[in-house]
Structure 1
């Protein structure tokens, strides 16, 4: 059925777009960045709608898109909670100094991080904590990559992770606090349906694991960012590795001979 295939189709298009990222540069790369975020946003919201219904999809948009815009506007204006930073203007139209595509990126990865947590633990508090960690860990890849492209910069990017001089440590803590808050709000707003374990979540689990593997490869090989490749590998492994192991255990073993 189309409702089951559509998320996989959108994921395929997203993967193709991300494969093209290191093959472009300049304005074309910025445009491709915006396009992939739009695809990722459409994928996550569509999956939430098809798998969990309108309430969950609306909650996802309200909490992570609306909340993402709000926290970014506050961040640009005050430096809280990410440090003093500004966007360069390369990512398209902006509101109060924040490109409109930025809050869409929060939604894009907040949903697969939430569903990874749903798969990994039955505890409500545990899911909130793990989903927040899963989303914030992605930023250990994201911010160094975007800073290297000049899409945004910090006024004082220190202290920083060794080998990643452009991003202050406080930014990662800010991401963790905001991501956990978003996960908690999403759990409350979306209701029990959002916490249901379902086989329809395959595209989102694949998205999270693809993002992990592709980010390692891109940073280490194509983008010249070996330090962020290493730090991101460690950070995102906290959720990606347990998720991969859990999913692998669910795959039934193949029979190698006739049943007796």
Structure 2
């Protein structure tokens, strides 16, 4: 079960995400909500099966609870993301925030964290890289969701070149929040584990699929969001992919893998 459930959930998630550009209107909104919920279930179930209840409770408290708190603060005050409002397309709202939105923080925070602890042993670097890996996802997420009308910025200026509708301050706010989340997740003492492959696959699938979707399949203004997202998420995705490639490659008999060595 430990090995199979996260892979099964990830397979369902991939199918849902493939169906997204093929849908529209209310159906697309329903697919969006279902995708977030399934992504959340994938990450949380993996944490529970591989790290146990204590680490999972901390993950959910920090990323789901913290995600809701910071989103509610943002809607009410404009801090730390800028002034924005959610439409009613993403389902029921609490304090102006669709209840599904905080789940997205957890969905990507966990694979970003596991990816970071795989590629570097420096604890400060793990926190920074995990935060960048999570925050950079928003370079894809926000332009896509704004284009669908799921949320709207009061003043989307200044924006990244070629990506109208989303202020730069929003991405900086994401990075600041992600740094706090990563620092708190680090207190679990999580190290690379033998059953973390589904989370590496989740992060790399999100990276590649988002680039392709933004460049080809979504009705977005140009391909700038694909380029910005490729650059941002690539800061974690590239070294993560390289570490997996190194692990799968042939090893010299003169340099055997040390017991417990994750890369």
TM bin (shorter chain): over 0.9
Q: Secondary structure of the equivalent of 2:137? A: helix
Q: Can you list the C-alpha shifts for 1:67-112, whole angstroms capped at 9, x where unaligned?
A: 0000000000000000000001100011010000000000000000
Matched with 1:220 is 215
TM-score normalised per structure 2: 0.93
Q: Given the alignment of the two structures, is residue 231 of structure 1 paired with residue 228 of structure 2, yes or no?
A: yes
Provide runs of 4+ in structure 1 moved above 2 Å: none
Q: Secondary structure of the equivalent of 1:12? A: helix
Q: For the aligned residues, what is the CA RMSD?
A: 0.9
> Which one of 229, 241, 257 corresponds to residue 238 of structure 2?
241
Where in structure 2 are the equivalents of 1:191-210 lying within 5 Å? 191-192=188-189, 194=190, 196-210=191-205
Matched with 2:136 is 137
Matched with 1:69 is 68
Q: Can you list the C-alpha shifts for 1:165-212, whole angstroms capped at 9, x where unaligned?
A: 100000000000000100111112xx22x2x11121000000000000
Q: Secondary structure of the equivalent of 2:85? A: strand
Count of residues in correspondence between the two structures: 249
Q: Secondary structure of the equivalent of 1:166? A: coil
How far is 1:228 from its partner? 0.4
Cα separation, 1, equivalents of 2:230 and 2:164? 17
Where in structure 2 are the equivalents of 1:31-180 lying within 5 Å? 31-180=30-179
How far is 1:124 from its partner? 1.2
Bigger proportion of residues as helix: 1
Cα separation, 2, equivalents of 1:156 and 1:102? 21
Q: Secondary structure of the equivalent of 1:153? A: strand
Q: Secondary structure of the equivalent of 1:8? A: helix
How far is 1:253 from its partner? 3.0
TM-score normalised per structure 1: 0.94
Q: Given the alignment of the two structures, is residue 26 of structure 1 paired with residue 21 of structure 2, yes or no?
A: no
Q: Given the alignment of the two structures, is residue 10 of structure 1 paired with residue 9 of structure 2, yes or no?
A: yes
